[in-house]
Amino acid sequence: MNNIRIAPSLLAADFGNLQRDVEMVNSSQADWHHIDVMDGVFVPNISYGMPVIKNIAEHATKPLDVHLMIIEPDRYIKTFASLGANILTVHYEACPHLNRTIQAIKEEGMMAGVALNPHTNINLLADSIAGIDLVCVMSVNPGYGGQKFIENTFSKVRDLKALIHEKKSKTLIEIDGGVNADNAKALVEAGADVLVAGSFVFNSQDPLATISQIANIANV
């Protein structure tokens, strides 16, 4: 049996009933709460900031997987640690001094993640992968929920898994964007360890059952 983690993306939750949706994830088969922070600069959308994340943290009983789609993420590492983030992911494309950023995240006691946009080659992480806890492979262009899954993601995940093995690293591979019941199994077979699902979960009639469905498919 696989040990695949499921991380529902709260960006797709009902913001008028955010506590309810956080508590739903708490009671589900999910493993993490995935939280997308967007600044309107690195990506064209703006999501939520510190007060909302503080509120989520007060109700969450599972780890907070925070994904920063922002420029200059180093400025906020200590802030997100103080808010209760367990995993902090920054974008490769936003970090000119990536190794220093990774180290700063770890020094705050968080797992260090690096996200790659669809056009970014995984080989750019060859010199850093040993120090990265998680690589978030964007399977849609970042900035909006509900986008169509990019099929090239499968080969990208296979290549990334090969790099991780080559470097003898224990890095987890997370897939973010367009994940659903139709592609979950193939993503796991390609090498995924964490599946982020937003619209597919929260737009369903029964989000709790949908999380169970993905978890059961991924962990056969």
Q: What gap in Å lies between CA 195 and CA 55, rounded to an integer?
A: 24
The label of the residue with tokens 């709790």 reads 208
Axis-axis angle for helices 207-218, 18-27 (nearest 10): 40
Strands 111-116 and 134-138: parallel
Annotated catalytic residue 36: yes
Which of these is catalytic: 31, 36, 133, 193?
36
Per-position b or e across 102-135, b if 16+ CB within 10 A of its CB: bebbbeeebbbbbbbbeebebeebeebbebbbbb
Which of these is catalytic: 21, 39, 65, 176?
176
Q: Amino acid identity, residue 148?
A: K
Annotated catalytic residue 193: no
Catalytic positions, written as ranges: 36, 176
